[in-house]
Structure 1
């Protein structure tokens, strides 16, 4: 079932802070929509996770592939 999540809910699911979610949206990696406050659909969140598997998105403006054996 598709739901709309607010930024706080997205941050909880991604285990990051709200500012990181806003950075992901501003960079275009995560598509949000504004209905009063910024929201993200659960379908978009799932798609984002699939699209970015194996990538280091610590800096959403400089996405890198995670090298094999890199854990930190």
Structure 2
């Protein structure tokens, strides 16, 4: 319900950002390494990349993105 509430309340120019954030949430929820990833993020040891790199890698691997 939080997703629908946030999406419904977002100004039109923020819709893509809302979809992207929730897509990332869904991907993390489905990841078998979720606990390790969260622990590393909290410890400040999680390697990071830009969203542009994530999008590029996803497209290179044939994956779709929200809104496509």
Q: Same fold (TM over 0.5)?
A: no
More strand by share: 1
Q: If the length of structure 2 is used for normalisation, what is the TM-score?
A: 0.30
